[in-house]
Amino acid sequence: THALPAAAGPVIYRHAVEMEFRGDYAGALRYLRAIEALPARLSLGRFNLKVEAWPRMEGRQMLMVISPK
């Protein structure tokens, strides 16, 4: 958790979570679209994708949630 610098106001925090997933291309695409559609204050960070043997792939996604606490 890191506090983001604020000019004159409340302190805002960024909580980072790293998610891993395995599956095929269609499953990975559904996962990313579902993450993007979430209503939370969510920011997508680093994303790595590795194809093991088509169509199987492995991914790692850094997600950051912005909050006042």
pLDDT in tens, 2-41: 665 656 677 888 889 898 989 998 988 898 888 888 877 7
- Band (pLDDT 50/70/90 cuts) for residue 43 is confident
Between CA 56 and CA 54 the distance in angstroms is 5
- Band (pLDDT 50/70/90 cuts) for residue 52 is confident
Q: What is the largest CA-CA distance in the chain?
A: 52
- Band (pLDDT 50/70/90 cuts) for residue 62 is very high
Return the pLDDT at 63: 87
The average pLDDT across 33-57 equals 84
User: Is the CB of residue 12 less than 8 Å from the CB of residue 65?
Assistant: no
